[in-house]
Structure 1
Amino acid sequence: MEARCDFLQWLQMDMSLNIFMSLDDPSDLIRASAVSPSWHHFVTANGLCKQLCLRLFPQLSSVSFVTEPSCGLKKSADVGSSNSVEWEALEMEHRAYAFLVRALTTFTPKDCIAEAISASSTDNFPEESIQNTLDPRDRVLRRASYWSSKGQSDPSVPETLIYKVTGNLCVITEISVQPFLAYFQPGFPIYSAQSVRFRMGHPRSPEDVESDPRNLPLQHPADDKFIWTYTSQEFPMTQENYLQKFQLPEPVICIGGFLQIELLGRVQRQEMDGLFYICVSYVEVMGQSLFPAFDVKNLEPSGKLLLKYNPEVQHCASPISSYRQPLATSANMLHDNLRGLELLLNMLHGNAPDHEHNDWDDDDDNDNDLDLVPM
């Protein structure tokens, strides 16, 4: 113990970076930043929490600014800067990305559709509106509940459905679509698509869409009002009446809060008019909103994104508080979670914990003490 030393003092910069960047668990990286003042400075100055976040979620590469309510707008500072203002920006980025990457990697998915925005076409509006796809029941008030496209003689004509998810920053893991079975038509036809594809993005003009998405007409195309920053692979659908789940290869951040479902190829012709239709009875999007702890804003006309981080809501019940396990219901669990949050906040500010009083050696308490958000 007398001969121990800090490897940062002996290794070259590149080698030290390689060692720290091999930590792919956010908790490990945060622990490392709390070992000593020099390790905290190294992790913070080199933006390692941000690098880990971008490595796991490359969609965030479009974020150029970070802000906290108490700090104002900050642009990413240069590594190695000794200027106090630039160091303050680095410290803020460290805190924001540490909480963000932890939140993005530890959550329990739930349905996160906020509202239906528009469909590329609707056969009979409002009876067959996209709004019907938000209700899992196939009948509402004794009427069939589904969305129907207009009929097409060409089965290759696609259709699109656009939804707003909860918050402008939402991590999505799975999308499910249930084709509609027309139980009132001869032969009980199922109007599915051949395949589906998913896009995520943000509005071209925040003033027109973000202020009130309901201004968009539900029965007309609205694709030209959005910029899609993510496009999934194409998933085959089966012509069966059940909720078909399409799991994304890895969780994807929906930056901007809008999701498009592309329905590709038609398989069912309607007997009465000989045209091909696509009908959907229910849509479900599984993921987790990061609002209100995190939000994003499109900075026009540059197109750069502003990441807003509000640490104050970490103390409040919020969507993020559902990560990993249900809200604490006992006084002891609440005390442990608040104590763990206090420990983490101290670590993010570079204050090493008192090793005589910490509980890291207790396996039962390890997870709770290092959660980034209160349960």
Structure 2
Amino acid sequence: MEVRLDFLDLLQPDMSRKILMCLDDISDIVRASAVSRCWQHLVIENGLSKQLCFRSFPHLSRVASIVEVNNSEVNGNKEVACSSSRDSKSAQRDHRVYAYLAHASTSFLMRHCISEAIIASSTDNEPEESINNTLDARDLVARRASYWSSKGQFKPDVPETLIYKLVSNLCVVYEINIRPFQAFFQTGLPIYSAKAVRFRFGHLTHVIDHRSDLVGESHCGSAKETFIWTYTSPEFPMAQESYLQRFKLPEPVLCIGGILQVELLGRVQRQETDALFYICVSHVQVIGRPLSPAFDIEILEPSWDFILKCNHQAKASNQLSMLENEPRTILPTYLGRRVIELRQIVNMLRGNVVQGEDYAWGEDEDDR
């Protein structure tokens, strides 16, 4: 009979671990654990799937413990929490959960991830120029321009912030897209963009019962007490042009807590009537992979560590819900945006100047 040797048996455990840590795909690590009992023991006992997750998303180091939940326990409001000690069962549990998390972070469907607008640092005219308008990609809603506007400032370096709630407490975010507002009803068609933009991800410091609990500029002034930011992006320059500008993050970011802050840094455009600087935004879009209901978190006070909850049975329902929502959320918005831009191009080619009510494409525009 042919004699076959496992090369890992010929190496020291540390060298074997270093070799397997060169794998950068969770599928390869799972396959490695299925080669033999020896390989499975090496993968699980060394927590290789956990280390891969930590490599991709360093903020997972704040996981205090892991809870595995199944659908029947959720319906009965019961959860099964495993010990966080490094015994054999907890090591196997960690392997299951982190391998599933790594898989979900690259395989769950991409989509628009904003659930609702929370608060803006200032608003010029409420509710006509509310932050809520930035959730709609249309230029006109009910025959009115749809945008958010800051209050005017004498100094151009005064920043503004927009805060949003994402659709999941755990989202892998790839890019944020922002369209500055062009005031088609003002002389010269000025564009009120910011000079630069920066993004923060994090979570609330406490549970709120209603969105109204955060409304009011006093909350923006006390943002340090209201939000904990776990990630801050580099600054991105913003063009003074009215199109959906794409800001791709250097690496995919796991947003822990489902809160996004958009920092608009510096002002470019003065308003002719009052000579003040404003920032105005038409639309904000976040592209990523929501990980709920397969994963959720529970924030612990005062350490701000968190419990990671995993429901392995939720994958099918997650994908189904994404497929059901995708045609209604992204596709019409995308097509609507393209139709509006094509109409603008046609008008320009015909030599038409779009101003005031002539900018409306028709009442059926508002019904889409």
- The two structures share one fold, judged by TM-score above 0.5: yes
Q: Say if 2:139 is the partner of 1:138.
A: yes
Task: Quote the residue 2:99 is aligned against.
Answer: 98
Distance 1:295 1:133 in 2: 27
Quote how far apart the aligned CAs of 1:72 are.
2.5
Look up the equivalent residue of 1:304 and give its one-letter code. D
Q: CA distance change for structure 1 residues 302 and 91 in 2, over 3 Å: closer, same or farther?
A: same
Listed as ranges, the matches of 1:103-142 within 5 Å are 103-142=104-143
Q: Return the alpha-carbon distance in structure 2 between the equivalents of residues 3 and 309 of structure 1.
A: 43
CA distance in 1, matches of 2:321, 2:289: 8
1:77 matched residue in structure 2: 85
The Cα of 1:10 is off from its aligned counterpart by: 2.4
| Cα distance in 2, alignment partners of residues 138 and 90 from structure 1 | 53
2:63 corresponds to: 63
Inter-partner Cα distance in structure 2 for 1:179 and 1:136: 11
CA 1:119 to 1:319, structure 2 compared with 1: closer, same or farther past 3 Å? farther
Aligned to 1:17: 17
Q: Is the 8 A contact 1:109 1:173 kept in 2?
A: no
Aligned length: 314
Mapping of 1:224-243 within 5 angstroms? 224=224, 225-243=226-244
How far the C-alpha of 1:48 sits from its partner, in A, is 0.5
Distance in 2 of aligned mates of 1:314 and 1:277: 45
Q: Where does residue 45 of structure 2 map in the other structure?
A: 45
Stretch of structure 1 that moved more, 143-152 or 310-319: 310-319
**Aligned residue for 1:156?**
157
Uncovered stretches (5+) of structure 2, i.e. residues with no partner = 71-78, 328-368
* Other-structure match for 1:27: 27
Q: Evaluate the alpha carbon distance shift between residue 280 and residue 54 of structure 1 in structure 2; reply closer, same or farther with a 3 A threshold.
A: same
Partner deviation per Cα, 1:278-332 (whole Å, 9 max, x = no partner): 000100000010000001111122321111000121343547976xx99xxxxxx
**Change in CA separation of 1:249 and 1:317 when aligned onto 2, cut-off 3 Å:** closer
Q: Indicate yes or no: 2:199 matched with 1:201.
A: no
Aligned 8 A contact 2:172 2:254 in 1:
yes
- Which string of whole-angstrom CA distances, capped at 9 and with x for unpartnered residues, describes residues 222-244 of structure 1? 32310111000100011111111
Matched residue of 1:189: which SS?
A: coil
Deviation readout 1:103-144 (Å, 9 max, x if unpaired): 112344221110000000000111100000000011111111
State whether residues 163 and 259 of structure 2, in contact with CA within 8 Å, keep that contact through their aligned partners in structure 1.
Answer: yes
Partner of residue 167, structure 1: 168
Alpha carbons 1:119, 1:221 under 8 Å: kept: no
> CA contact under 8 A between 2:174 and 2:251: conserved in structure 1?
yes
TM-score, reference length from structure 2? 0.81
Q: For the structure 1 residues 320 and 200, does the alpha-carbon distance in structure 2 shift closer, same or farther, using more than 3 Å as the test?
A: farther
Normalising by structure 1, we get a TM-score of: 0.80
d(CA) in 2 for partners of 1:214 and 1:17? 52
- Taking a change above 3 Å as real, the CA distance of residues 173 and 142 of structure 1, as seen in their structure-2 partners, is same
Residue 181 of structure 1, CA deviation = 0.6
Distance 1:162 1:236 in 2: 19
1:310 paired to 2:318: no
Partner of 1:262: 263
Cα distance in 1, alignment partners of residues 61 and 109 from structure 2:
24
Structure 1 pair 302/33, CA: closer, same or farther in 2 (3 Å)? Answer: same
**Residue 75 (structure 1) shift:** 4.9
Counterpart CA distance in 1 for 2:210 and 2:319 is 23
The ranges of structure 1 where at least 4 consecutive aligned residues each deviate by more than 4 angstroms after the TM superposition are 218-221, 319-322
Cα displacement (A) at 1:214? 4.7
Cα deviation, residue 63, structure 1: 1.3
Give the Cα–Cα distance (whole angstroms) in 2 for the partners of residues 64 and 320 of structure 1.
30
State the alpha-carbon separation in 1 of the partners of residues 235 and 178 from structure 2. 14
**1:317–1:59 distance in 2 versus 1, CA, 3 Å:** closer
Shift of 1:37: 1.6
Q: Work out the CA distance in 2 between the residues paired with 1:319 and 1:159.
A: 38
Instruction: Give yes or no for contact 2:176–2:286 (8 Å, CA) kept in 1.
Output: yes
- CA distance in 2 between partners of 1:75 and 1:53 (Å): 20
Q: For residue 99 of structure 2, give the secondary structure of its aligned residue in structure 1.
A: helix
Shift in alpha-carbon separation, 1:218–1:164, aligned structure 2, 3 A: farther
User: What's the C-alpha RMSD, in Å, of the aligned pairs?
Assistant: 2.0
Offset at 1:74? Answer: 3.3
Measure, in 2, the Cα distance between the counterparts of 1:114 and 1:267.
Answer: 29
Match of 2:213 in 1: 215
- 1:316 aligned counterpart, secondary structure: helix
CA distance in 2, matches of 1:315, 1:282: 31
User: In 2 relative to 1, CA 233–242 (structure 1 residues): closer, same or farther, beyond 3 Å?
Assistant: same
In the alignment, is the contact (CA less than 8 A) between 2:163 and 2:260 conserved in 1? yes
**Identity fraction in percent:** 57
8 Å CA contact 2:114, 2:165 repeated in 1:
yes
Q: Structure 1 unaligned segments of length 5 or more: list them.
A: 79-85, 327-375
2:80 aligned partner, one-letter code? G
Q: 1:174 to 1:102 in 2, by over 3 A?
A: same
Given that 2:181 and 2:191 are in contact with CA atoms closer than 8 Å, whether structure 1 keeps it comes out as: yes
Q: Structure 1's 254 and 219: CA in aligned 2 closer, same or farther, altered over 3 A?
A: same
CA spacing shift, 1:221–1:152, aligned 2, 3 Å: farther
Mapped contact 2:170–2:291 kept (Cα < 8 A):
yes
Distance 1:97 1:213, change over 3 A: farther
